[in-house]
């Protein structure tokens, strides 16, 4: 069901400062930067290896989900994302196991992916994201 650990999402107050920190400390390449208005974040993806990334997230406003997370918990790991083949199929399989989905249907994630979140209370306290990567252009 899970193909890989796709990324670890880290909430931060200052995206540019954290891009500098992580890219210099671990010698990582920034492969994408994006503003996701729907999720209320600006973000960057730093490649660790293959299709595994560190995702840095700065909230667009204090009342966004990541803004509220920062106010409550401070900077640190916000969620963990796992690659799947087909996100809709996986959502269906998971729902039948009694785990609550935070999304009714897949939404837009980083780098053209389709994503869905699972309720952290049903997954050991970990906010969990499913990621179906963008289809390569033909």
- C-beta closer to a second copy: residue 97 or 138: 97
* Start-end of H helices in the chain: 15-26, 65-73, 87-96
Burial (CB count <10 Å: 0-12, 13-18, 19+), residue 84: buried
Residues 6 or more apart in contact with residue 132 via CB below 8 angstroms: 83, 84, 85, 86, 87, 90, 106, 113, 114, 115
**For residues 93-112, which are near a second copy according to CB under 8 A?**
94, 97, 99
Residue from 38, 49, 135, 136 binding a second copy (CB under 8 A): 49
71 CB neighbour count, 10 Å cutoff: 11
Residue selected from 35, 37, 63, 76 as contacting a second copy according to rule CB under 8 A: 76
User: For a second copy, which stretch binds (CB under 8 A), given 7-15, 35-43, 60-68, 109-117?
Assistant: 7-15
Stretch that binds a second copy, among 22-30, 32-40, 59-67, 107-115 (CB under 8 A): 22-30
Q: Which residues contribute to the site for a second copy (CB under 8 A)? A: 1-5, 7-8, 10-12, 18, 21-22, 24-28, 48-50, 52, 56, 73-77, 80, 82, 94, 97, 99, 120, 123-126
């Amino acid at each position: 069901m899970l193909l890989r650990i796709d990324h670890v999402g880290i909430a931060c107050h200052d995206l540019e400062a954290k891009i500098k920190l992580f890219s210099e400390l671990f010698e990582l390449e920034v492969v994408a930067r994006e503003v996701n208005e729907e999720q209320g974040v600006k973000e960057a993806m730093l490649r660790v290896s293959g299709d595994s990334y560190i995702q840095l997230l700065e909230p667009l406003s204090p009342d966004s989900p990541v803004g509220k997370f920062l106010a409550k918990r401070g900077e640190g790991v916000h969620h963990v994302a796992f690659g799947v083949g087909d996100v809709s199929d996986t959502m269906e399989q998971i729902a039948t196991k009694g785990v609550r989905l935070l999304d009714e249907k897949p939404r837009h994630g980083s780098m053209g992916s389709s994503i869905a979140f699972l309720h952290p209370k049903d997954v050991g306290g970990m906010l969990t994201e499913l990621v179906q990567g963008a289809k390569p252009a033909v």
